[in-house]
Structure 1
Amino acid sequence: MTVVRARRLVALLAVVVLAGCGTAPTPTAPATTPPTTATPPAPTPGGSSTGPDQSAQLTLSAVGDVIMGNAPSQLPPNNGHGFFDDVAQSMHADLQMANLEQPLTDDTGVGKCGADTAGRTCFQFRSPPSYANVLKEAGFALVNLANNHAYDFGPAGHQNTRKALDTAGVKYTGPPGMITVVTVQGIKVAVVGFAPYPWANDLVNIPKAEDLVRQAKAQADLVVIQVHMGGEGADHTHTKPGTDMFLGENRGDPIAFSHGMIDAGADLIIGHSPHVMRAMEFYKGKLIAYSLGNFAGYHALGYNGVVGITGILRVTLRRDGSYVSGTLVPTHMVAPGSPRMDPQKQAISLVSSLCKADFPKTGARLAADGTVTPPT
């Protein structure tokens, strides 16, 4: 064998050995051969070389009903600036949310109460469009418009509200078919609002709601539900199985709805509507807050007794939807409906007792400092 032939043989053997170790380029398959799918690399702790870090976390805060006065004559001083100052620090989070229970609009001439402007049997609320900036300054990044007062001044008032929020840079959710997706700390969060009204995603039609949640889950890492459900008033603190009727109106089946949304992919349920706080429950490891009650109702909502007890719910979730921690920060409303920190911590004892009464096996457990944990 010549030297040249020997060198060629050695080179050929080297190629064969390298190919056997999987480091040589794979030859192009013939056109008639179906393509093969490469096996992805094994994930590393907290994520993978090809996907996002599933252990990444974000903290959300949520409050219940917010009404910043009632134009033209019952508005907070200083055009609303500073209205939330006493509670702002405790609300601060990666994503801060509220249920906006009023339009932000000038008088459209079509208020739902008609001649009953004194609010004796009918209640309508509005604040000027500029109050969207009050929300922004307080740190609210997203508000829910799926509630019974969103249309107090008709379609024009609703459109004016959306325009004011857009101008201020505050996101919103709630209109039919709307899935609001925001990216926070690199995590995509879809927020969907529901209520039993035609201007909102339908709370009562659970299968349809589940379909929308599945769509939301396909667009985001986390899905948060804002839902206006349940009867109203001091005698509606308890969450019961079945349809919740109020003044002849179907206010949904809070338990069936919430469980259905989680089955469809939701990671957190934030309820409001009853104007009182309700219990919290863990279902399949996901937290359900059945009602956060009133948060602010300047010259608009009652503030004495149980209707004035409220709080800020803070929840930390991982990208994969798993629950990390939660805290209920107690607040209350003081005359004439302004939000304040509550040194008596009434919300903690109230919600804790409701959890034990309404969900003895699945209810959340609240420590004295407001820490929210699953049942053991």
Structure 2
Amino acid sequence: MIRVARRLLLLPIAFLLIADISAQVDFCAVGDVLLDRGVRKVIEQNDVNYPFEDIDEIINKNDLALFNLECPLSHAEDGFPINKRYSFRADPEYAKGLKFAGFNIATIANNHTIDYGKSGFLKTMEVLEEHSIYSIGGGEDQNLAFQPLLVEKKGEAFAFFGHLEFLLEGTTFNKDQPYPAFGQIDRLCSDIQKLNSHIDHIIVTFHWGQENVAIPTKRQISYAHKVIDAGADLVIGHHPHILQSIATYKNKLILYSLGNFVFDNSDKLQKQSVIFRCQFENGKLVNPELVPVYINNCRPELASSQNTREIFEHLNRVSQPFQTTLSLNDSIIKINYNVEYPIRELNASGRNFYIFKKKIVTYNALNEATEYYLPDDNYILNDADIFVQEGIAYLYSIVKNTINDKSRIAVFPFLMERNEFLKPSLDVHDHYNPWKIKVFDVDNDNNPEVVVGVNKSTRYFENEENRIFVFNTEKDYFYAKWFGSKIGNPVIDFKVSQKSNQLVILEQPKAQKKNIVVSYKWNGFGFDHDKILYEMDEGSDLKLQFHLSDFTFESGF
């Protein structure tokens, strides 16, 4: 069953839960879908499925399939056309074709979904929902329009944002009225930052750029880089009506425009298109590729060998300036995308730090990278968190010795003003066996502590099991504050909430089959049991469900 929720901790967000336990999520995205004008004619001559009959098998193989809806779905009596040169409207029953094709996510942040006024815009959202297609980038006001769609599929958590670059022709913008998510790039980046540590994959779609221009504008490039700096993992663009450059930035993929998909344009470049597809697994985007298609009689068809070659050559040519290489393998265009993923992305004082197994990378305001490699090849980084004091960022980390399999706490100081890593320090104790570390000001004295998940015995519990320890910090020096004596159950995972000053632990009682989520509050000397928040059943995605437990679920739409 699909369930929808509103997230209360950070901002209201629509949440779609798709239950499954497989490991790999198949994703695809396409360009502009118009269901009016010339496309309306071919639908009336055939049926609502006609535009998709050559590609529906490809789309339906994916767990998540996204497209840009380039027109409202409403009856004539649902609104009034706005005064503009091109004003579109498709009949609501045409949504059956979208469902037949296999789409389940539509971005409505564009220059045509409001062509039939604000009531037609809201009707479009209603029609999409009736066909189990979830819209992004639009709402009854800007607060709702900026809500991302959150999806949990096969143990991977996704956030989808839709955003419009420019003010729409023939409209008056009012933040309290129905409209696509418009402008306010800093707001979008802020919302992304709030979600970054909770979500595996953040996907941002933009309606932007110039029509029929194959190279992105400076603003497109700037916006793409800004959202990636904020935490976005994949950027997908629409509006130019032709295929634009493909780029990578800080190991993240940018598809500046996917061109048309179902459309009645007649120019050859406007008829060249692709289906972008990839897989998501273990927090990573893998196997990105493009299926070339050519639009014939308004509908996309698998491209001939000649059209495939021309699409490949066009994309290769416009992508080379962005240091992106493509290869043609039979009838599939491979995006050469072999990147190392960070194990953690941290932000301190507006600066991002990327934690990899063997190095730490940070960028200054000019996007110049500073890299620090671990001095001992026998060690790898497993986790990290950060705080800043007196102009120095302290990265409290867990490093593991790959020879003896023992882990320790290490601190890597970074002098912000000089853009320089200072001498690190390594804890002499190798018997804590730390597995997770979080910065948390437990006593609200503005001097942060670090909460560490360890694997050892405590004063009252002799068995070596997962426990929680707390350490005081003085810059890069730390010492014991509390050794988890009140927590008797083995710990599966934990998280901290500075706002409520709570330590929340996922525990595994030995005498019960169900796991429990318990909150603890600081009493001045240690953490006291506060209350059992809820129970959780066993499952392969247990930790994911725990980290998404700040969402309160309602029944379906």
With the length of structure 1 as denominator, give the TM-score of the two structures.
0.73
Q: Which residue in 2 is equivalent to 1:214?
A: 193
User: 1:151–1:157: 8 Å Cα contact kept in structure 2?
Assistant: yes
Aligned-partner SS, 1:370 = strand
Q: Which residue in 2 is equivalent to 1:90?
A: 58
Return the offset for 1:155.
Answer: 0.7
Q: Which residue in 1 is equivalent to 2:315?
A: 351
Q: Which residue in 2 is equivalent to 1:200?
A: 180
User: 2:31–2:258: 8 Å Cα contact kept in structure 1?
Assistant: yes
Please state which structure has a larger fraction of its residues in helix: 1
Q: Which residue in 2 is equivalent to 1:238?
A: 215
Is 1:283 equivalent to 2:249 in the alignment? yes
RMSD: 2.2
Return the offset for 1:375.
Answer: 7.8
Is 1:58 equivalent to 2:36 in the alignment? no
User: 2:79–2:119: 8 Å Cα contact kept in structure 1?
Assistant: no
* Structure-1 separation of matches of 2:216 and 2:79: 38
* Structure-2 separation of matches of 1:135 and 1:367: 29
Aligned-partner SS, 2:190 = helix
* Structure-2 separation of matches of 1:80 and 1:113: 28
Aligned-partner SS, 2:55 = helix
Q: Which residue in 2 is equivalent to 1:255?
A: 221
Deviation string 1:273-310 (CA, Å, 9 cap, x unpaired) is 1001001011111110000000111xxx3133111111
1:313-332, aligned counterparts within 5 Å?
A: 313-320=276-283, 322-332=284-294
Is 1:67 equivalent to 2:34 in the alignment? yes
* Structure-2 separation of matches of 1:82 and 1:89: 13
1:1-376, aligned counterparts within 5 Å?
A: 56-70=23-37, 74=41, 76=43, 77-91=45-59, 92-107=61-76, 108-113=78-83, 122-175=85-138, 176-196=145-165, 197=167, 198=173, 199-202=179-182, 204-233=183-212, 236-240=213-217, 242=218, 253-297=219-263, 301-320=264-283, 322-335=284-297, 337-343=298-304, 344-345=307-308, 346-356=310-320, 358-359=321-322, 362-368=323-329, 369-374=332-337
RCO higher in 1 or 2 (8 Å CA, sep ≥ 6)? 1
User: 1:272–1:293: 8 Å Cα contact kept in structure 2?
Assistant: yes
Give the number of equivalent residue pairs: 293
User: 1:313–1:327: 8 Å Cα contact kept in structure 2?
Assistant: yes
User: 2:260–2:270: 8 Å Cα contact kept in structure 1?
Assistant: yes
Q: Which residue in 2 is equivalent to 1:119?
A: none
Return the offset for 1:145.
Answer: 0.3
Aligned-partner SS, 1:271 = strand
* Structure-2 separation of matches of 1:277 and 1:123: 21
Aligned-partner SS, 2:157 = strand
**What amino acid maps onto 1:281 in structure 2?**
A
Return the offset for 1:214.
Answer: 2.0
* Structure-1 separation of matches of 2:99 and 2:136: 16
User: 1:58–1:185: 8 Å Cα contact kept in structure 2?
Assistant: yes
Return the offset for 1:318.
Answer: 2.9
**What amino acid maps onto 1:89 in structure 2?**
E
User: 2:164–2:208: 8 Å Cα contact kept in structure 1?
Assistant: yes
Aligned-partner SS, 2:202 = strand
**What amino acid maps onto 2:163 in structure 1?**
F
Deviation string 1:79-127 (CA, Å, 9 cap, x unpaired) is 412320101222231211100111000114521237xxxxxxx111111
* Structure-1 separation of matches of 2:224 and 2:273: 21
Deviation string 1:9-51 (CA, Å, 9 cap, x unpaired) is xxxxxxxxxxxxxxxxxxxxxxxxxxxxxxxxxxxxxxxxxxx
Aligned-partner SS, 1:83 = helix
- Summarize the Cα distance change of 1:265–1:71 in structure 2 as closer, same or farther, 3 Å threshold: same
* Structure-2 separation of matches of 1:177 and 1:370: 33
Return the offset for 1:173.
Answer: 0.4
Give the stretch that moved more between structures: 215-224 or 154-163.
215-224
**What amino acid maps onto 1:323 in structure 2?**
L
* Structure-2 separation of matches of 1:232 and 1:288: 18
Q: Larger Cα Rg: Structure 1 or Structure 2?
A: 1
- Summarize the Cα distance change of 1:60–1:278 in structure 2 as closer, same or farther, 3 Å threshold: same
Deviation string 1:209-249 (CA, Å, 9 cap, x unpaired) is 2012223435532111111110112xx11124x2xxxxxxx
Aligned-partner SS, 1:213 = helix
Return the offset for 1:73.
Answer: 6.3
* Structure-2 separation of matches of 1:97 and 1:309: 18
User: 1:181–1:189: 8 Å Cα contact kept in structure 2?
Assistant: yes
User: 1:65–1:273: 8 Å Cα contact kept in structure 2?
Assistant: yes
**What amino acid maps onto 1:173 in structure 2?**
I
Please state which structure has a larger fraction of its residues in strand: 2
* Structure-2 separation of matches of 1:311 and 1:155: 31
Q: Which residue in 2 is equivalent to 1:248?
A: none
- Summarize the Cα distance change of 1:216–1:172 in structure 2 as closer, same or farther, 3 Å threshold: farther
- Summarize the Cα distance change of 1:73–1:165 in structure 2 as closer, same or farther, 3 Å threshold: closer
- Summarize the Cα distance change of 1:215–1:135 in structure 2 as closer, same or farther, 3 Å threshold: farther
Q: Which residue in 2 is equivalent to 1:14?
A: none
User: 1:310–1:331: 8 Å Cα contact kept in structure 2?
Assistant: yes
* Structure-2 separation of matches of 1:333 and 1:274: 16
* Structure-2 separation of matches of 1:75 and 1:308: 16
User: 2:71–2:89: 8 Å Cα contact kept in structure 1?
Assistant: yes
With the length of structure 2 as denominator, give the TM-score of the two structures.
0.50
